[in-house]
Structure 1
Amino acid sequence: MSADQPHIDISPPISRAEAVAVALERHGWCCYPDFIDPATVMALAAECQELDRRGNLRPATTGRAPGRHAGVLRGDRTHWFEAPALSDAQRVLWGRLQALRHVLNRRLMLGLEELEAHYALYPPGAGYARHFDRFRDDDARVVSSVIYLNHDWKSDDGGALRLHLPDGPYDIAPRGGMLVMFLSAEIEHEVLPALRNRLSVAGWFRRRSLT
């Protein structure tokens, strides 16, 4: 990986949110290891697994109603966050993402008005085909985010997020606590299959739709 790749490494130190904004402005995407503390990561992971055990994670769909399709391009199961009815762990994450939204608006003037997010669990062998996050008929999604919840993830476990960048594909292992962000309309990406359950919180920072 070349020195100018947008992993966060900024001196002098600045806040997490400011660092993410700088990298996103420069590159259109970024990775921030340990954006969420280990205790919150563990609590979120346990909650995601318990929701799945109870059957509250549902097979994900693609597209928007009424033309949703299930199980064609993606194999994850999801559960949407419902503010203000958030668990304690969700509230911690939600607060940090909302703080990040305010910083992105101040520095980049993106006009982000709201946040949506869901748990995503990919069972072994499941992935998500190459795609953009912004819908063709709705331009509200501006910035995509993923927080990974996987403990002790190894490269051999697979499950990388593959970003399709102008200079070629770039793979990011889904290690616990890491934040990945990218511009929803500009970065095509996919999720590669893993050998074990792969847990995350996927989110989108949205503006008022212009279409």
Structure 2
Amino acid sequence: MEAVLLPKSWNVDQILDDLDQHGFSIIDDAYSSEYIHQLVEECTSHLNQFRDAAIQNGIVSNIRSDHILWLHEELKISHQHTKTLYTLAEQFNRAFYLGINNVEAHFACYNSGEFYALHRDNPQGKNGRIISAVYYLHEDWQDDWGGELRLQDKNDQWHTLQPKPNRVALFQSDLLHEVLKAKHQRLSITAWLRHNDSIL
């Protein structure tokens, strides 16, 4: 993965300090308005390819009701975000010796009434996911539209984070969290900065 520069709004020192102290960090005004618009267009033009995330290997899960589309290099606009996360992962590796060498990501769409109940992205350290990153790519959002990310930080304090447009929420993948029921279509990219055991 080729290296890219981090946007100026990504204050690495603050992000590292937040993760160290609390296990999560927020980046607001993550990208330019031009990039956001292109990203929303790419996401919405592929909505007919999204699949029900509640079905895994033919088994229906009752804890989530969103829809997803895994990212790949042919989705060129969102792939730029993936490359940015690789650059951020290099900073995490230098600071915390995490051994991150892979980023997996998908578009996520929560339609009105959809949610994701309490869970951990890396339960009992079984899947290599180290840092989770949720980027909210819808261009407009109102506080009463729901869809908040509610998470318990590393000090057992609970936080409710609004899915504000152009915001990235970073958090340890082992933290307990949920997506509250959306009252309006909510679009995002969910990514995991992870280590791949087959590469190590």
TM-score of the two chains, using structure 1 as the length reference: 0.81
Give the match's secondary structure for 1:103. helix
Aligned counterparts of 2:24 and 2:179: Cα–Cα separation in 1: 16
**Which letter maps to 1:183?**
Q
For 1:151 and 1:79, locate their aligned partners in 2 and report how far apart those are by CA, in whole Å. Answer: 19
Equivalence for 2:82: 94
Query: Is 1:177 the counterpart of 2:166 in the alignment?
Result: yes
The corresponding residue for 1:143 is: 131
Matches of residues 58-207 of structure 1 in structure 2 within 5 Å?
Answer: 58-61=51-54, 69-82=59-72, 84-87=73-76, 89-136=77-124, 138-165=126-153, 166-185=155-174, 187-207=175-195
Deviation at 1:174, TM superposition (A): 0.5
Retained in 2: the 8 A contact 1:59–1:70? no
Q: Percent identity?
A: 29
Give the 3-state SS of the residue equivalent to 1:31 in structure 2: strand
The size of the alignment, in residue pairs, is 190
Name segments (4+ residues, structure 1) moved above 4 Å. none
**Aligned partners of 2:9 and 2:29 also within 8 Å:** no
Show CA shifts across 1:11-37 (max 9, x none).
xx9953343223212221111111222
Give TM-score scaled by structure 2 length. Answer: 0.85
Identify the range of structure 1 (105-114 vs 168-177) with the bigger mean alpha-carbon deviation: 168-177
Alignment partner of 1:107: what SS? Answer: helix
Contact 1:58–1:79 at 8 Å: present in 2 too? yes
Give the gaps of 5 or more residues in structure 2.
1-7
Residues 148 and 178 of structure 1 are in contact (CA less than 8 Å); yes or no, is this contact kept in structure 2?
Answer: yes
Counterpart residue identity of residue 186, structure 2: R
